[in-house]
Amino acid sequence: MPAALIFDIDGTFAETEELHRLAFNQTFSAFGLHWHWDRPLYRKLLAVAGGKERLAHYVTNYVPQDAGRVDIAALHAAKTSRYAEMVAEGSLCLRPGIARLLGEAERLKIPVAIATTTSLPNVETLLQATLGGEVIEVFAVIGAGDMVSAKKPAPDVYSYVLDRLGCEGRDCIAFEDSYNGLSAARGAGIPTVVTPSYYTDTEDFDGALAVLSDLGEPGAPYRHFAGIGDDDRMVTIETLARWREQRA
Ligand code: XBP
Ligand code: MG
């Protein structure tokens, strides 16, 4: 059995990045800024993990003339509120297999945790909107946002979560959707299942335990892209245990 399952949020739990992009653009308008992040630009900007870091990168590299007139922290706080409002309205759903695997882990008493770049309020709102109720208590540890100083692809958020779980990386499984996320999890020594998302589908996932279209559901198997798992149809605790053994 894996000692714990550690999930990324953005792109892995749900396809959130279009909503983040929308929230950024609405915030720019509200602040009177003539900035607009279209999809091709946002794809490039996503190389920088973290909203504040992404904004700072954009100002430096795309609109240096505006550097003196923007407060990145204020802009990001407003974007976070706007994003939370949209998530609370129910515009997102969980990707296939997420709720099923969480339920299975809970039944088998396998701890589940979160390791994400986005801020804690965003995680809470997303969990509330998609899983409802007191679900946040299901998670043994949540590593989010500025709880660590170096964001993905640095391994810090995964190390933070492993410390609090009291687990070794090699005994757990991480779930990620991006190159940055895979690098962070692997940097902490965690075998990682990658389910690429809308903005990350062309990235390099070398070194992943498995690369799959999603975690699969009964009657809707995942598509296998790379790594282990080409004979299976759904990611379950049993398949994860077997994959870890085969890889050991
Ligand atoms: C996701 C991110 C996040 C979101 C924005 O990375 O980089 O920054 O785009 O969230 P990952 P915030 O899925 O690898 O954790 O604006 O709240 O930072
Ligand atoms: Mg992600």
Same domain as 128, residue 180: yes
Co-location of 54 and 101 in the same domain: no
Kindly report the CATH number assigned to the domain that includes residue 207: 3.40.50.1000
Angle at 148 between CA 64 and CA 57, to 5 degrees: 10
Mean pLDDT calculated for residue range 62-91: 94
State which ligand 1 atom lies nearest to the alpha carbon of 152.
Answer: 14
Region of 132 (left: φ > 0; alpha: ψ -120 to 50; beta: rest) is left
Of 8, 156, 177, 214, the active-site residue reads 8
Q: How far is the CA of 104 from the centre of ligand 1 (A)?
A: 27
Clarify whether residues 82 and 111 are in a common domain: no
pLDDT digits (tens, 9 = 90+) for 18-40: 999 999 999 999 999 999 999 99
Q: How far is the CA of 221 from the centre of ligand 1 (A)?
A: 28
What pLDDT shows up at residue 61?
98
Neighbours of ion ligand 2 (CB under 5 A): 8, 10-11, 177-178, 181
Boundary (domain end) residue, out of 46, 64, 88? 88
- Which element (helix H / strand E) includes 72? helix 72-88
Q: If we measure between CA atoms, which residue out of 91, 83, 107, 92 comes closest to residue 13?
A: 92
Per-residue pLDDT at 104 exceeds 90: yes
Considering the domain architecture, whether residues 98 and 206 belong to the same structural domain is answered as: yes
Active-site residue flag, 204: no
Q: What is the pLDDT of residues 153-198, one digit of tens each?
A: 999 999 999 999 999 999 999 999 999 999 999 999 999 999 999 9
Query: What residue numbers bound the domain in which 42 lies?
Result: 17-88
In total, how many domains does the chain have?
Answer: 2
Average pLDDT over residues 208-226: 98
| Residue whose CA is at the smallest distance from ligand 1 atom 13 | 10
Q: Whose CA is nearest to atom 16 of ligand 1?
A: 51
- On whether the pTM is more than 0.75, the answer is yes
User: Is 163 annotated in the active site?
Assistant: no
How many angstroms does the Cα of residue 124 sit away from the middle of ligand 2?
16
- Do residues 216 and 234 make contact, with C-beta atoms less than 8 angstroms apart? yes
> Same structural domain for residues 134 and 227?
yes
Do 200 and 162 sit in the same domain of this protein? yes
Claim to verify: residue 9 and residue 21 sit in the same structural domain? no
